[in-house]
Amino acid sequence: MANLGENMKAARLAGRRVSVIGLGRFGGGVGVTRWLCSQGAVVTVSDQSDESQLADSVAQLAGLDVALHLGGHREEDFLQADLLVVNPAVPKDHPLLAEAIRANVPRTTEINLFLQRCPAPVAGVTGSVGKSTTTAMLGAILSRRFTTHVGGNIGRSLLETLPEIQPDHVVVLELSSFQLEDTPLVRVSPHVALVTNLLPNHLDRHGTMASYTDAKKNIFRFQNPDDVLILNRRDEVLCTWAGEAKGKVSYFNEDDDESFELLLPGEHNQANAQAAFAAAAALGASREDAAQALREFTGLPHRLQFVRETRGVRYYNDSKCTTPAGAIVALRAFEPRRVILLAGGYDKGTAFDELGAEICSRAKAVIAFGATRGKILVAVERLRTSPVPLAQDVEDLSVAVSAAREIAEPGDVILLSPACASYDQFTNYEQRGLAFVQLVF
């Protein structure tokens, strides 16, 4: 099959019929749609959600010559296009996408289009937890020495920035397993590939841990001998990947790593900082660059974000945490038995046994809400050996915050670290985090 890939890297898109499959409520298809229009493509956007549900994304396409086919997919948009640009969130087993693949319709993704055309060295960051903070830290460090562009899964497409990116600049991309899943179509990996850790995640999409792992490996699978793969020394599974690397391999989280001065709490953020420095050093940044940048780094919204302190109780918004492993990391950032954990949400198929054990050993209380609240509390009850922590089952986040306030005493921390996706009650983790901040105030 001739995909738009290595044999069409510089192919002109002017006049081609391109279907963007999945605009997304989170705006995932907006950047690529705007860029395709600038290239002269004849663009159709197809999404199962209707215009009212996609109002924010549609508004960003105002004034563009785009056909919007919303409220359901049409067969012709898949089978009569010259190229499909598929949003990573679209399931691979979608019947029309599967039919298009069988019909040899060329397909690609936003991140593939960028990787094929980017003139600057790219540092890619992936992992199960911590990749957004590590990406932002890496961007901050590199900005001390280079003109640096940060994008990918962290929030924006860099396609429209391509005319500004020069060969002596540096690009930092956060890459999710969904985005990496299709990079074999173009056989491109970043010059520097950083993997923070590997833990069970997105098994509702990938099906098995083996499939999830295979997608993650695409970040280095197509590297050249002069490229660099950076792995977490304390992750035994990741360390086995070194034997598959075609380029150089280096590590972070070594026993003799010198700590950085950070504003952010928790050992996990020290690990994020060490990872970011390792990647930055591979691109020519110094430790002094890293120390200065990290000393001033205040973190990202919804990632252990300090919200306020009132009546001696501190509130932290960690809504970006969508895995049990991430919630465990967040719990460990604070003093034992001072945290009232708010957890729960959409069920991605992950187990909560390890989180239940951590809650039992460290939390003062857990307030579980949303679709997974029952599974979380079952894990806690099965593993508890004392009356602490207190465990409550509530319907939604609003009730959870109220319940936490009744329990909290001066010196306590009320921590939203859901361990689950947000889709049962919110559009995305940002909406959930903003709702928490509003409830806190």
pLDDT of the residue at 265? 86
Residue 375 confidence (pLDDT) above 70: yes
pLDDT tens digits, one per residue of 383-408: 999 999 999 999 999 999 999 999 99
Which CATH number is 220's domain given?
Answer: 3.40.1190.10
pLDDT at 87: 94
Confidence band of 299 (pLDDT split at 50, 70, 90): confident
Residue 300 lies in a domain: no
CATH of the domain at 43: 3.40.50.720
Can you tell me the mean pLDDT for 50-70?
95
Residues 222 and 127 in one domain: yes
pLDDT at 47: 96
Same domain? For 202 and 184 the reply is yes
Residue 244 makes CB contacts below 8 A (sequence gap 6+) with 217, 220, 221
- 221 in the same domain as 119: yes
Average pLDDT, whole number, for the chain? 94
pLDDT for the residue numbered 11:
61
* pLDDT score at 139: 98
Domain that holds residue 120: 112-295
Q: Which residue has the higher pLDDT, 4 or 268?
A: 268
Cβ neighbours of residue 430 closer than 8 Å, sequence gap 6 or more = 301, 302, 319
152 and 104 both lie in a single domain: no
**Are 81 and 123 part of one and the same domain?**
no
For residue range 19-59, what is the model confidence (pLDDT) as tens digits? 999 998 767 899 999 999 999 999 999 999 999 999 999 99
Instruction: Give CA–CA dist 309/298, Å, rounded.
Output: 17
| pLDDT per residue as tens digits for the range 302-345 | 989 889 999 999 999 999 999 998 899 899 999 999 999 999 99
Are 362 and 337 within 8 A, CB to CB?
Answer: yes
* pLDDT at 3 > cutoff 60: no
- Which residues have C-beta within 8 Å of that of residue 210, sequence separation ≥ 6? none
- The answer to whether residue 120 is domain-embedded is yes
* Residue 6 pLDDT exceeds 90: no
What's the pLDDT score for residue 8? Answer: 41
Same domain, 266 and 179: yes
What was the pLDDT predicted at 196? 97
CA nearest neighbour of 205 among 50, 350, 32: 350
Residue from 16, 22, 17, 18 nearest 73 by CA: 22
- Which is nearest to 189 in space by CA: 104, 277, 93, 125? 125
Angle of helix 287-295 relative to helix 267-282, nearest 10 degrees?
Answer: 140
**If you search the block for the tokens 């070194």, which residue do you land on?**
242
Closest CA to 178 of 202, 143, 197: 202
pLDDT tens per residue across span 169-215: 999 999 999 999 999 999 999 999 999 999 887 777 888 999 999 99
Q: What is the mean pLDDT of residues 54-80?
A: 96
288's CB contacts (< 8 A; 6+ apart) are none
What is the band of 73 on the pLDDT scale with cuts at 50, 70, 90?
Answer: very high
Q: Are residues 219 and 310 in the same domain?
A: no
Residue 333 lies in a domain: yes
Residue 347 has pLDDT above 80, yes or no: yes
Residue 257 inside a domain? The answer is yes
Q: Please give the distance of CA 152 from its chain centroid, rounded to a whole number.
A: 9
Question: 1 lies in a domain?
Answer: no
Same domain, 436 and 424: yes
Is 336 part of a structural domain of the chain? yes
Helix 131-142 to helix 267-282 angle (10° resolution) is 50
- Of 108, 125, 149, the residue at which a domain comes to its end is 108
- Residue 25: its pLDDT value, please? 75
Do residue 271 and residue 345 come from a single domain? no
User: In this structure, are 79 and 131 located in the same domain?
Assistant: no
pTM here is 0.81
* Residue 10 pLDDT exceeds 90: no
- C-alpha span between 63 and 22 (Å, rounded): 19
Do 128 and 81 fall within a single domain?
A: no
- From the list 168, 165, 43, the residue with the least C-alpha distance to 115 is 165
Residues 376-389: tens digit of each pLDDT: 999 999 999 999 99
Average pLDDT over residues 7-15: 66
Q: What mean pLDDT comes out for the span 270-290?
A: 97
Q: Which of 261, 295, 329 is the last residue of a domain?
A: 295
- Domain annotation covers residue 264: yes
d(CA 108, CA 364): 48
204-249 confidence digits (pLDDT tens)? 788 899 999 999 999 999 999 999 999 999 999 999 999 999 999 9
Tell me which of 53, 77, 108 is where a domain ends: 108
Domain count, the chain: 3
Is the domain of 315 the same as that of 422? yes
